Structure 1
Amino acid sequence: MKFLPVFVQTLMRRPHRALGALFWYATGRRVRARNRLRMVAAQLPHAYQMWIDTIERRHEAVADAKTAAERWLRRPTFTIVISVSTADEHAAVLASLRSVQAQCLPDWAAIIVLAEGDRRSFPTSDARISVAEARAQDAAQALDMAIALARNDYIVPLAPGALLSPIALYRYAEAILAGDKPAILFGDHDEIEHRRRKRPWFKPQWNAEMFLAQDYVSPACAVHTADARAAGPIASDLADAALFALLLRVSGAASARIVHVPFVQVHLAQVLPDNQAARVRAAARHLVDARAIVSAGPHRSVRVQWPLPDPAPLVSIIVPTRDKEKLLRACVSGVLSGTRYRNFELLVVDNGSVEPDSLRYLDTIQEHPQVRVIPYDLPYNYSAINNFAVAQAQGDYLCLLNNDTEVLDEDWLTELMRQAVRPHVGAVGAKLLYDDGSIQHAGVIVGMGEAAGHAHRFLRQDDPGYFRQAHVPQYASAVTAACLVVARDKFLAVGGLDEERLQIAFNDVDLCLKLDREGWRNVYAPAAVMIHHESKSRGKDHSPAHIDRYMRELGVLQQRWGTKTHADPSHHPNLERSSETFVIRL
């Protein structure tokens, strides 16, 4: 970030904070100054325009792209496909075509597919633009026709009125030439209104679990033509989600490579219609062999419930505790009486409780047939306590659960287990809420704050937030052990929690990264919801009593996993690394 241009724009709206940043800059503490100014500027209404002016600098990028493309020995070719369904889209199509003609890469053709009965013409002197002779009954048939007519390497579907960035095809070509032939490329997109760009979606890298739930790929993508043809025709009842259905098929191939191009590739001129019902049908058809239950989910998402084995496997729920009888009572009562998944044992690991109320309660719950109280009389070490309990657990699956959690929904364990039983899945984490109902945990972003942070922290549960990402299941680098399920054999295969060097903090992140390194994908499962009274039982890591230990463990995480510079696939480089709320990085 260039300090002075951002300072000038911030000064007009947030003068006190801007001047505070200037003080740090003038006194030589420029990293702190930039961080302060960046966070203030990111909250301003015109933050995106500031980003366009100071970070994107598209005019410079276009000139660089033209120079670079001239040196390429070969260039991938593209067919832009525009399907027109109504007469009032004529002007929108012409605007889209102008953006295609403005591409700095000339190796393209454009095919316009008109709806049945539409006899309009699109006069143009550009021989690269053609109108399909046949007319399409619906969007599914239109896409199939365009795929059959395409003669170039890749197909780029474009909604009427959507504008390609002038270097969009160059960015796709650059990514194609950088590696093995991708089946799908997708970029970021924003919206354009009255010639002003707004609402940028800086997207995560390819995430198959997230894509099932919400289509974040279709608005700005390119599909390899041969792979699109191999996917076969699209059923007419999926017409409202024709491209989503095609992408599901293409991405489902075992050899398919899907590449994220981390640039704003497309500007949408209109809000895309809600096609949730068609996406539900497409996902259900795609997953028919998996026996998954597919239905409409929250915030216009698609909900996929993966099947459970019959009989359901035994889960060992491990709850470390010391005193805090009221917290423990709320946790245990919810587990015993508010959990629909019944095949579990509850191991309460008592780390030296001394309060009479706590001791009486521990004696009482031992009478329940599903509960065992296990004494652990050594000094507090979260990793060691859980590893100790795992050695005595009987379940094939483990649920690590804090004693300061409360069950909100009786399906919490069912939803976690639906993911955990999948062979390629490692750890599965729940959506955790603060007492006021705002989000405490929606997956962990590794590298955030040069360590690890909770995605979407403080977002209201009913707020869609940053493009609904807090509310859809997705692969995650890590999830918190405040509520985490993992297969016992996978937990043991990676050595469990690190009780030597990560006794209290970051042991869950370390566990998840070890699982990921072995090829098991960690999953954030938002349908499993609990309250988490964060750190009420042991206090805050940053308190004076804990800070030295915390800093040591932070150093271990940073050295072991390179979190100072790590780029999490769920977090775009254009988003602020020091913020858990997904704001633009300036």
Structure 2
Amino acid sequence: MSEIKEYKQPTNKIEKGLLYLQHYGFKKTVAKTVRKLMKHDQEHYSYRQFLKENPITKEELDKQKHTVFKYNPVISIVIPLYNTKEEFLIELIQSFTAQTYPHWQLCLGDGSPEEGLKDIILKATDGTWDERIIYKKLSDNTGIAGNTNAAMELATGDYIGFTDHDDLITPDAMYYIAKALNEDNTIEAIYSDEDKIDMEGKEYFLPHFKSDFNIDLLCSHNYITHLFVVRADIVKESGGILSEFDGAQDHDFDLRVLEKCTNIYHIPRVLYHWRCHPDSTADHPEAKMYAYENGRRAVENHYKRLGIPARVELDTHLGYYRTIYQWPDSPLLSIVIPNMNHVEDLKACIDSIVEKNDYPNVEFVIVENNSTEESIRNYYTQLENRTDIKAKVVDFTKEHPDTMGVFNYSALMNYGVAHADGEYILMLNNDTRMINADSISEMMGFVRRSDVGAVGARLYFGNNTVQHAGLVLGLGGVANSQFLGSGREQVGYFYRSTCVQDLSALTGACMLTSKSDFESVGGFDESLAVAFNDVDFCLKLRAKNLLCVYTPFSEWYHLESVSRGLDLEDDGKKARMESETEYFMSKWQSVLDKGDPYYNPNLSLTKFDYSFRSKE
């Protein structure tokens, strides 16, 4: 059992540096410091390497130009113009005329006070007007919302999307959209990955390799942004862009139209270059507070339209949001904890909840398994006799004497849930400790949504490094936690360690579900006594189209050893692990072969920090 080291949230660069030193050691800290001083960004170098390994070749583009599709949808891209710089507008127009798929339409609404942009467009097309470009000089500048809506009225395509007036798309962007629609013509909305491009149009950086559709991540921040196209009838019925959400108008629009969609497709490929100075993301973020407030309102309005009682707060990281559910009642939650001996561990686990928990209606169900120590029996008696809490001990070994000396976590959990009176179940290991008072309330907020099957928390080793931030299929083997071993203060790639999101699986060490959902999928698979039973359970929920939600706002310690490994030194345990792995793999092979939908295929499966995939 590892001890808990005191943790203090860093408030300045010195404190962050000391924590980095503590978690990653002297050598890595020095290397990072040198890169910072020399203004060498490791991410820039990694992405350069990625682009070298994954180029867009001339041969590939030529092949795309000669591809004959059965279905040739017209893709209308809407762009509001306003005093656009000549070089930027020329590059934008030429990124469209260079497309390998020809059936696109560019709808330009010009709200500039002066004439001249039409001449620049003509210059971009070498003096001959491209009929696919529809240009309108607007009589008034009505802001980004009004100008965008005016440009949208020009669109006659089957799908409608948006770009900014100084950004670029890759030459194969329209091709990949058409390809997706030919493979599945029921798709209603499509979005792609994106990166940033510098002001000179030479350096690509900060790629955003996104998750497949992830509604809880979208409520945490607008991860979709660009390139995004939606079936035209859905766009036109949406009411367009709303000026009351200026600065976050795309976030509001995305939420409104996607509420109407059931088939949303993600292209895991960079198709959009967002023009940005490499240092601009750090410059005066407080200057856009109005935009963050409008984003907050956009997410809150989303919940109102769905009839979900929730308020939305600005997160400590600007541009990110936290949802606080406001359900009118507090149904009984059963906290099911399997246990063998370890009286001090169990007592510390329960005490941490009793002393801190602000959720008002819980019971403890302790599943006794093979204990031999008198001290634990005495504690059980004390626990059941307490009047300040509801607690009961159910003896699995006594009812199943044939399991004497055997550990089967799945069987223990199934037994515990069967004896639980709660409408909801928190499956919890006895070596966990609650950190924040609202840890259970936070998880209960999400699980009560009809589309959610399970909720997981952010778990730390005793040294305040991440033990669990949601599981990724195929990561480090069969499945593993994203950001495993990173510092508690580390936010991760695009804040993925510290914002709410949907994932494929969660650890059973601290997982909350409804009793009805638990029973509807047959509980835990008892053929998986120790390994992957939690992943299996989550995949069964996912097969019923229920979400598995990770929330970092529920924080716990999980005090298993950082270096425990998989107990492969013991021959019996090794054989069991191999057998359970084989069983799990055969059961879910078709799912595993597709890759994790919430983890981009351009990311490494051998590193836990969202490093880019490399051929090295």
Query: Normalising by structure 2, what TM-score?
Result: 0.82
Q: Tell me if the contact between 1:103 and 1:168 (Cα under 8 Å) persists in the aligned partners.
A: yes
Change beyond 3 A, Cα 1:447–1:428: same
Say if 2:378 is the partner of 1:382: no
Distance 1:44 1:340 in 2: 41
| Aligned match of 1:276 | 292
Distance 1:471 1:89 in 2: 38
The alpha carbon displacement at 1:226 in A equals 2.0
| Aligned match of 2:273 | 267
Secondary structure class of the residue paired with 1:579:
coil
Say if 2:514 is the partner of 1:479: no
Q: Tell me, which stretches of 5 or more residues in structure 2 are unaligned?
A: 1-41, 398-403
| Aligned match of 1:109 | 105
Residue type of the alignment partner of 2:214: N
The alpha carbon displacement at 1:566 in A equals 4.0
Residue type of the alignment partner of 1:110: L
| Aligned match of 1:30 | none
| Aligned match of 2:168 | 163
Say if 2:389 is the partner of 1:392: no
| Aligned match of 1:248 | 255
Distance 2:341 2:243 in 1: 62
| Aligned match of 1:202 | 209
- 2:78 is aligned, of 78, 81, 103, to 81
Distance 1:116 1:565 in 2: 51
| Aligned match of 1:222 | 229
The alpha carbon displacement at 1:540 in A equals 4.4
| Aligned match of 1:328 | 346
Distance 2:57 2:316 in 1: 36
Distance 1:93 1:531 in 2: 53
Distance 2:458 2:81 in 1: 41
Secondary structure class of the residue paired with 1:265:
strand
Q: Tell me if the contact between 1:113 and 1:136 (Cα under 8 Å) persists in the aligned partners.
A: no
Say if 2:103 is the partner of 1:96: no
Residue type of the alignment partner of 1:412: S
Which one is further off, 191-200 or 159-168?
Answer: 191-200
Distance 1:396 1:422 in 2: 14
Change beyond 3 A, Cα 1:58–1:211: farther
The alpha carbon displacement at 1:564 in A equals 5.6
Residue type of the alignment partner of 1:98: Q
Show CA shifts across 1:509-556 (max 9, x none): 1111112222322221222111111368x9643341222211111111
Say if 2:301 is the partner of 1:285: yes
- 1:519 is aligned, of 522, 532, 545, to 545
Residue type of the alignment partner of 1:276: Y
| Aligned match of 2:60 | 61
| Aligned match of 2:612 | 584
Residue type of the alignment partner of 1:177: N
- 1:146 is aligned, of 151, 156, 163, to 151
Residue type of the alignment partner of 1:533: L
- 1:368 is aligned, of 367, 378, 386, to 386
Secondary structure class of the residue paired with 1:496:
coil
Q: Tell me if the contact between 1:420 and 1:486 (Cα under 8 Å) persists in the aligned partners.
A: yes
Secondary structure class of the residue paired with 1:98:
helix
Distance 2:613 2:548 in 1: 26
Q: Tell me if the contact between 1:251 and 1:257 (Cα under 8 Å) persists in the aligned partners.
A: no
- 1:133 is aligned, of 129, 134, 137, to 137
Distance 2:71 2:534 in 1: 47
The alpha carbon displacement at 1:283 in A equals 1.5
Distance 2:376 2:499 in 1: 38
The alpha carbon displacement at 1:371 in A equals 1.8
Distance 2:594 2:69 in 1: 31
Change beyond 3 A, Cα 1:401–1:278: same
Q: Tell me if the contact between 1:116 and 1:137 (Cα under 8 Å) persists in the aligned partners.
A: no
Distance 1:353 1:391 in 2: 21
Show CA shifts across 1:456-509 (max 9, x none): 21233332311112222222211111111111111112111122x101111111
Say if 2:344 is the partner of 1:339: no
Distance 1:116 1:269 in 2: 20
Distance 1:560 1:307 in 2: 39
- 1:451 is aligned, of 478, 498, 509, to 478
Change beyond 3 A, Cα 1:58–1:435: farther
Secondary structure class of the residue paired with 2:205:
strand
Change beyond 3 A, Cα 1:548–1:213: same
Change beyond 3 A, Cα 1:433–1:143: farther
| Aligned match of 1:17 | none
The alpha carbon displacement at 1:357 in A equals 4.8
Say if 2:525 is the partner of 1:509: no
Distance 1:181 1:199 in 2: 32
Change beyond 3 A, Cα 1:58–1:462: farther
Distance 2:56 2:545 in 1: 39
What does 1:557-572 align with in structure 2 at a 5 Å threshold? 557-562=584-589, 565-572=593-600
Q: CA RMSD in A?
A: 2.4
Secondary structure class of the residue paired with 2:348:
helix
Distance 1:118 1:306 in 2: 49
Say if 2:375 is the partner of 1:352: no
Show CA shifts across 1:29-86 (max 9, x none): xxxxxxxxxxxxxx88633223222234443331221121xx224422222222245x
Distance 2:603 2:449 in 1: 31
Secondary structure class of the residue paired with 2:51:
helix
Q: Tell me if the contact between 1:445 and 1:478 (Cα under 8 Å) persists in the aligned partners.
A: yes
Distance 1:282 1:323 in 2: 51
Q: Tell me if the contact between 1:398 and 1:486 (Cα under 8 Å) persists in the aligned partners.
A: yes
Secondary structure class of the residue paired with 1:218:
coil
Q: Tell me if the contact between 1:154 and 1:223 (Cα under 8 Å) persists in the aligned partners.
A: yes
Q: Tell me if the contact between 1:314 and 1:343 (Cα under 8 Å) persists in the aligned partners.
A: yes
The alpha carbon displacement at 1:395 in A equals 0.6
- 2:441 is aligned, of 401, 407, 414, to 414
Secondary structure class of the residue paired with 1:323:
coil
Secondary structure class of the residue paired with 1:287:
helix
Distance 2:386 2:561 in 1: 27
The alpha carbon displacement at 1:158 in A equals 1.2
Q: Tell me if the contact between 2:394 and 2:419 (Cα under 8 Å) persists in the aligned partners.
A: no
Number of corresponding residues: 537
Distance 1:108 1:409 in 2: 52
The alpha carbon displacement at 1:221 in A equals 1.3
The alpha carbon displacement at 1:359 in A equals 4.3
Distance 1:84 1:437 in 2: 49
| Aligned match of 1:542 | 567
Show CA shifts across 1:328-358 (max 9, x none): 2221111112111020101122323344554
Residue type of the alignment partner of 1:263: R
Distance 2:344 2:57 in 1: 58
Change beyond 3 A, Cα 1:191–1:60: farther
Q: Tell me if the contact between 1:298 and 1:471 (Cα under 8 Å) persists in the aligned partners.
A: no
Q: Tell me if the contact between 1:351 and 1:376 (Cα under 8 Å) persists in the aligned partners.
A: yes
Secondary structure class of the residue paired with 1:385:
helix
- 2:312 is aligned, of 294, 306, 328, to 294
Secondary structure class of the residue paired with 2:518:
helix
Change beyond 3 A, Cα 1:564–1:174: closer
Say if 2:192 is the partner of 1:187: yes
The alpha carbon displacement at 1:386 in A equals 1.1
